[in-house]
């Protein structure tokens, strides 16, 4: 999708602090972090959200990379939260499927606001 900000990040048209990348997904740090670690994992192909007939292989790829990214970000042992917001009422502000990895502090401490 030409005007989707996350598609532009995936195409490297917009700079991002990339944490992980493979053929299917891209993980990068959130520009408005809600905790010390706040990384987004997106499919490189545009899907608006979970209701957008996302192939099982893409969902599996998103989830499979979470432990790797948590390790890279240093929260694999201490713990982290994974969140997928679907739709505006759930707080999805970018209409491109994405998964949040949040950690680096006990939940509720040091968080800016709930995601």
Distance CA 30, CA 24 (A): 19
Strands 18-21, 25-29: pairing is antiparallel
38, 96, 98, 100: which one is catalytic? 98
How many other CB atoms are found less than 10 A from the CB of residue 83?
14
Please indicate whether residue 98 is annotated as part of the active site. Answer: yes
Distance CA 11, CA 38 (A): 21
- Positive or negative: CA dihedral 40, 96, 51, 92: positive
Name 103's bridge partners.
Answer: 37, 80
**Residues assigned a catalytic role:** 98
């Amino acid at each position: 999708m030409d005007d989707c900000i996350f598609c532009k990040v995936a195409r490297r048209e917009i700079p991002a602090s990339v944490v992980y990348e493979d053929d299917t997904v891209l993980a990068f740090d959130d520009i408005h972090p809600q905790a010390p670690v706040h990384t987004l994992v997106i499919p490189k192909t545009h899907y608006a959200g979970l209701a957008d007939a996302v192939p099982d292989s893409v969902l599996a790829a998103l989830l499979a990379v979470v432990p790797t990214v948590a390790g890279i970000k240093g929260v694999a042992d201490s713990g982290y939260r994974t969140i997928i917001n679907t739709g505006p009422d759930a707080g999805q502000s970018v209409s491109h499927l994405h998964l949040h990895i949040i950690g680096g502090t006990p939940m509720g401490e040091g968080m800016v606001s709930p995601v």
